[in-house]
């Protein structure tokens, strides 16, 4: 079976994709520099996958290190997850974000080119759609990034368009994620951001285990059914399986695709909080505070193309997203830190 290189392999989405790829019969080589992830994840992948992991510690910006990996392993395709992803931090550290997110992308592509590997999956984001001109977002929606992080994703997409134009023998998947949440059903892997969580679900998880006192809900006066922000949350294992479907498409069709990976359903912050309370069997204390700068009131995916082109659709419900998140965080109150 094809051997897939995952960059950022110890990260949240990549680690779950690693398991999904192995379950689908692919071999995997993981690459990570642990700048934003924990080596403990590799031990969880070995335990859950039932086989030793093949892993190389390297920074995707290190051309020599990446070249050595391609000389050591037979790589058939690359899934590129390695990137910084905190919207607020990206405004404070634009150069670090451009150097890592775009420099790492270009370096990885150059190494692939030198080794004749031209099948590539890019971890993009619904953030490239900017303020909705229409909803649900289809893949034809206009593109406009609203922050530095979003611009690294949009510019990354454009770099890949130029590469495909210059050399149509590349097979590239532009995968636009909506809001990944949840955890592996075993409770042994999940989302474990460093510091104060920026995103809703990991913050709710940490309130539920007593690491945070209460949830601040950013705005209760949006033009949405209950006044709180609406998003398209999708289970991380559905997202992982979407990568398997995209790789199969690229390897079979030998041509590219641009696809939304979302459920097509929007849920509000309060919808998610209520679902989490049902899953955890306890209240999640919260306060409604001012809106967060840069937040959109509502967005969600048109997920038709993923279904018709890749044969993929999200299957797991919001309740399951919350139940799996709760199992992960309650069994690992400190995440991957020693002592769990």
> Is residue 127 involved in binding ligand WQD (CB under 6 A)?
yes
Among residues 318, 228, 215, 326, the alpha carbon closest in space to that of 275 is found at: 318
Measured from the CB atom, is 48 or 270 closer to ligand WQD?
Answer: 270
Q: To the nearest whole angstrom, how small is the minimum distance from the Cβ of residue 32 to ligand WQD?
A: 18
Helix, strand or coil for residue 208? helix
- 216 sits near ligand WQD (criterion: CB under 6 A): yes
Binding mask 28-67 for ligand WQD (x = CB under 6 A): ----------------------------------------
What is the Cα–Cα distance from 104 to 126, expressed in whole angstroms?
21
| Residue 16 and residue 239 in contact, taking contact as beta carbons nearer than 8 Å | yes
How far from the centroid of its chain's Cα atoms is residue 286's Cα? 26
Q: Where are the alpha helices (DSSP H) in the chain?
A: 12-23, 40-49, 63-72, 87-92, 94-97, 104-114, 148-166, 200-208, 236-253, 269-280, 304-310, 318-331
- In the complex, minimum distance from the CB of residue 86 to ligand WQD, in angstroms, rounded to a whole number: 8
Cβ contacts of residue 68 below 8 Å, gap of 6+?
A: none
Q: Please state whether beta strands 27-32 and 119-125 pair in parallel, antiparallel, or not at all (unpaired).
A: unpaired
Size of the site for ligand WQD (CB under 6 A): 19
Residue number, nearest CB to ligand WQD: 229
Asked if 130 is part of the footprint of ligand WQD (rule: CB under 6 A), the reply reads no
Q: Which of 3, 198, 320, 331 binds ligand WQD (CB under 6 A)?
A: 198
> Using CB under 6 A, which residues numbered 159 to 178 contact ligand WQD?
177
The binder of ligand WQD chosen from 80, 151, 231, 316 (CB under 6 A): 231
Q: With binding defined as CB under 6 A, does residue 224 bind ligand WQD? A: no
Q: Which residues are catalytic?
A: 149
Of residues 198 and 304, the one with the C-beta less far from ligand WQD: 198
Q: Based on CB atoms, which residue is closest to ligand WQD, 175 or 245? A: 175
Q: Does 273 bind ligand WQD (CB under 6 A)?
A: no
Cβ atoms of 146 and 200 within 8 Å: the answer is no
Q: Is 269 in the site for ligand WQD (CB under 6 A)?
A: yes
Identify the residue among 9, 77, 183, 200 touching ligand WQD (CB under 6 A). Answer: 200
CA dist., res. 97 & res. 100, Å (int): 5
Phi, psi of 77 (to 5 degrees): -160, 160
CB count, 10 Å around CB of 151? 20
Q: Which of 11, 220, 229, 266 binds ligand WQD (CB under 6 A)?
A: 229
Closest CA to 55 of 30, 76, 75: 30
Binding residues for ligand WQD, per CB under 6 A?
Answer: 85, 87, 125, 127, 177, 179, 198-200, 203, 215-218, 229, 231, 269, 292, 295
């Amino acid at each position: 079976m094809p051997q897939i290189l995952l960059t950022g392999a110890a990260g949240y989405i990549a680690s779950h994709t690693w398991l999904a790829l192995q379950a689908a019969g692919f071999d995997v080589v993981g690459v990570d520099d642990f700048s934003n992830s924990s080596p403990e994840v590799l031990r969880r992948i070995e335990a859950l996958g039932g086989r030793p992991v093949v892993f190389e510690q390297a920074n995707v910006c290190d051309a020599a290190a990446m070249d050595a990996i391609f000389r050591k392993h037979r790589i058939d395709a690359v899934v590129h997850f390695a990137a910084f992803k905190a919207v607020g931090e990206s405004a404070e550290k634009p150069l670090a974000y451009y150097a890592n997110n775009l420099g790492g992308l270009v370096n990885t592509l150059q190494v692939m080119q030198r080794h004749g590997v031209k099948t590539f999956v890019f971890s993009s984001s619904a953030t490239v759609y900017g303020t909705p001109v229409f909803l649900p977002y289809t893949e034809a929606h206009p593109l406009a990034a609203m922050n530095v992080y979003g611009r690294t994703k949009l510019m990354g997409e454009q770099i890949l368009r130029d590469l495909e134009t210059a050399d149509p023998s590349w097979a590239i998947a532009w995968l636009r994620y909506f809001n990944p949440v949840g955890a592996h059903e075993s409770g042994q892997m999940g989302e474990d951001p460093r510091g104060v969580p920026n995103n809703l679900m990991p913050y709710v998880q940490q309130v539920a285990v007593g690491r945070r006192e209460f949830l601040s809900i950013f705005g209760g006066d949006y033009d949405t059914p209950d006044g709180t922000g609406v998003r398209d949350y999708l289970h991380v294992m559905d997202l992982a399986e979407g990568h398997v479907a995209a790789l199969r498409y690229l390897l079979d069709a030998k041509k590219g695709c641009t696809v939304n990976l979302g459920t097509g359903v929007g849920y509000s912050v309060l919808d998610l909080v209520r679902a989490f309370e049902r899953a955890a069997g306890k209240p999640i204390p919260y306060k409604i505070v001012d809106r967060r700068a840069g937040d959109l009131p509502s967005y969600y995916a048109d997920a038709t193309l993923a279904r018709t082109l890749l044969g993929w659709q999200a299957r797991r419900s919001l309740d399951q997203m919350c139940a799996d998140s709760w199992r992960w965080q309650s069994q690992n109150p400190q995440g991957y830190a020693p002592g769990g």
